Amino acid sequence: MGKLIIVNPDLCTGCRLCELACSLQHYKEVAPSRSRINVVKWDAKAIDIPVLCLQCYNPVCATACPTKAIYRDNERELVVIDKDKCIECKSCMYACPIGGITIDPVEGEVIKCDLCGGDPQCVAFCPTGALEFVEADRTALHKRRAAAEKMSRVIDILMGGR
């Protein structure tokens, strides 16, 4: 079984070091707007929530993609975007229930967490342990599901829902 990133929003301080580490890893520059993880600040509740692709087992983004550019690589336990097939229509971005897919503001391409090839820099630089890279066993999957449900509820509220 592969590994995955688990988010604990209760431990996030909103320092955004994860965003800096991600942009440095992928673009060799400090550019939080180009990060594949984004910290959502919810001022009304005084919490910060790191949002990134959860590498879903049945990714809705893949179903929404008209060119089949997004697929789950079960061998690597990763949801992948085939840049050659992607037409940047943003269907995947709108379909993702937690906002784990975004557009790179410089290149204009669809981007999402790729786990940094197995060494996620957001986790390495998180000073509070709000991000953990763990084996995808049943306990981790349960924690990830609970965190995803919590993030989804918060995002619904932020977007004017419930």
- pLDDT of 79 > 60? The answer is yes
Please indicate whether residue 31 or residue 152 has the higher confidence score (pLDDT): 31
Neighbour-count burial of 65, counting CB atoms closer than 10 A to its CB (0-12 exposed, 13-18 middle, 19+ buried)? buried
- pLDDT of 64 > 70? The answer is yes
Reported confidence tier of residue 65, pLDDT bands at 50, 70, 90: very high
Q: How far apart are CA 28 and CA 37, in angstroms?
A: 16
Q: How far apart are the first and last CA of the chain?
A: 36
Q: What percent of the chain has pLDDT over 90?
A: 68
Q: Where are the domains of the chain?
A: 3-158
Reported confidence tier of residue 90, pLDDT bands at 50, 70, 90: very high
pLDDT of residue 84: 97
pLDDT of residue 137: 74
For 3-158, which CATH class? alpha beta
Condensed to tens digits (0 to 9), the pLDDT of residues 132-150 reads 998 877 666 666 667 667 7
Count Cβ atoms below 10 Å from residue 57 Cβ, excluding itself.
11
Count Cβ atoms below 10 Å from residue 158 Cβ, excluding itself.
15
Amino acid identity, residue 100? Answer: G
Which of 139, 162, 73 lies closest to 112, judged by CA?
Answer: 73
Torsion of CA 100, 27, 67, 78, to 10 degrees: -60
Q: How far apart are CA 109 and CA 42, in angstroms?
A: 27
